[in-house]
Amino acid sequence: MPADLIPAGIPAGTQQQMERALDAQRQPTPMEMIAAIARDPSIPIDRISALIGLQERMEAREAEKSYNVDFAAAMMDMPRVAKRGAKKMGDKGTIMYATYEDVDAAIRPVETRHGFARSFSTRSAENKSIMTLRLTHRAGHSTISERVCRADPGPGRNDIQAEGSGESYSRRYLTLAVWNIVTVGADDDGNSADPINQEQCMKLQEMLDGLNLTPPQMERFWKMAEAGTISGIQQRKYADVHQRLMDTYRQRGGGK
């Protein structure tokens, strides 16, 4: 039992008694219970294995629940991404698209805040290259999405460069798909007419109410948020506004 739970100046004998009493009150963890059962030679090994398997399934289920809760919250925070990339299509003109760099810069802060990380890998299958996106959560649960990588030939590209371009294309589309990211024209910067939704409004309002900012502080807040009301805050500013309020809470010793 941690010594910091025992008051200073207690005689050694009394301290040991208190430690034993505290240990007796503490509830054993499931793995401690399994370890205790494993020390009993009369318990068949197959039953111990079944208990361990049950505990692992329970932990996996809890990790999946945490993943789903944070995934839903992250989806609410995801911004739209502007199409700033351009691909010339000859006589068909130019196609605008959101580059992977822009997508990553827009969504990585949201992923990090909610405990997610993306990783990519490729493998060969039936003369095809398959790219896999693994979305891993801090609780340990993960999901995967896959896409066939097709070479993307273009003017001046050799075979290796065409393959690299195809992998970049797959990485971008896998990321857009897993988070259901909406891409829009660059002229509205992704969110010029896209205010935050009702749930986001309520979340920010609750945080502001808890902070009880002074009028000068509120003036600086509205300037930073580029709005005059909560409902007027745009999606492109939501992640930054939310993070600023979180930082203020931490500075004040809060845990919002």
- State the total domains in the chain: 3
- Look up the pTM and report it: 0.56
Residue 161 in this model has a pLDDT that exceeds 90: no
Least confident of 68-72, 189-193, 247-251: 189-193
Please tell me whether residues 94 and 164 are part of one structural domain: yes
Among 12, 28, 63, the domain boundary falls at 63
pLDDT digits (tens, 9 = 90+) for 220-244: 898 888 888 888 788 878 888 998 8
Domain limit, last residue, from 158, 188, 218: 188
Co-location of 85 and 182 in the same domain: yes
Within-domain flag for 56: yes
Q: Is residue 204 a part of any domain in this protein?
A: yes
**In angstroms, what CA-CA distances link 83 with 140, 172, 182, 184?**
33, 12, 10, 6
Quick one: pLDDT at residue 49?
Answer: 79
| Same-domain pairing of 145 and 215 | no
pLDDT value at 73 more than 80: yes
210 and 230 part of one domain: yes
Q: Cα(198)–Cα(51) distance, rounded to whole angstroms?
A: 45
- End position of a domain, from candidates 13, 30, 63: 63
Above 50 in pLDDT, residue 179?
yes
Convert the pLDDT of each residue in 9-32 to its tens digit: 555 666 566 666 656 666 667 666
Q: Is residue 112 part of a domain?
A: yes
Residues of the domain holding 247: 198-251
Q: Which residue has the higher pLDDT, 141 or 224?
A: 141
> Could you tell me if 171 and 116 lie in one domain?
yes
